[in-house]
Chain A
Amino acid sequence: MKTYTNSGNIDTRSGFGAGLEILGDQNPNVVALCADLTGSLKMNAFKDKYPDRFFQVGIAEANMMGIAAGLTIGGKIPFTGTFANFSTGRVYDQIRQSIAYSGKNVKICASHAGLTLGEDGATHQILEDLGLMKMLPGMTVINTCDFNQTKAATIAIAEHQGPVYLRFGRPKVPNFTPLDQSFEIGKAVKLIDGTDVTILATGHLVWEALEAAKALTEKGISTEVINIHTIKPLDEEAIVTSAQKTGGVVTAEEHNYLGGLGESVARTLAQHHPTPQEFVATQDTFGESGTPAQLMEKYGLNAKSIVEKAIKVIERK
Chain B
Amino acid sequence: MKRKAFSGAQRRLLAYAAVFCAVLGAVPSVGAMHIMEGYLPAGYCVAWGVLCVPFLIAGYLHIRGTLAEHRSLLTLFAVSGAFIFVISSLKIPSATGSCSHMTGTGLGAILFGPAAVSLLGLIVLLFQALLLAHGGLTTLGANTFSMAIAGPFLAYGVYFLCGKLRVNKKLSVFLAAALGDLFTYCVTAAQLAMAHHADTTPGGAFAKFLLVFAPTQLPLAVIEGILTVLIVMGLESFAAPELRKTGFLEVR
Does B bind A?
A: no
User: Which B residues fall within an 8 A CB radius of A?
Assistant: none
User: Which A residues fall within an 8 A CB radius of B?
Assistant: none
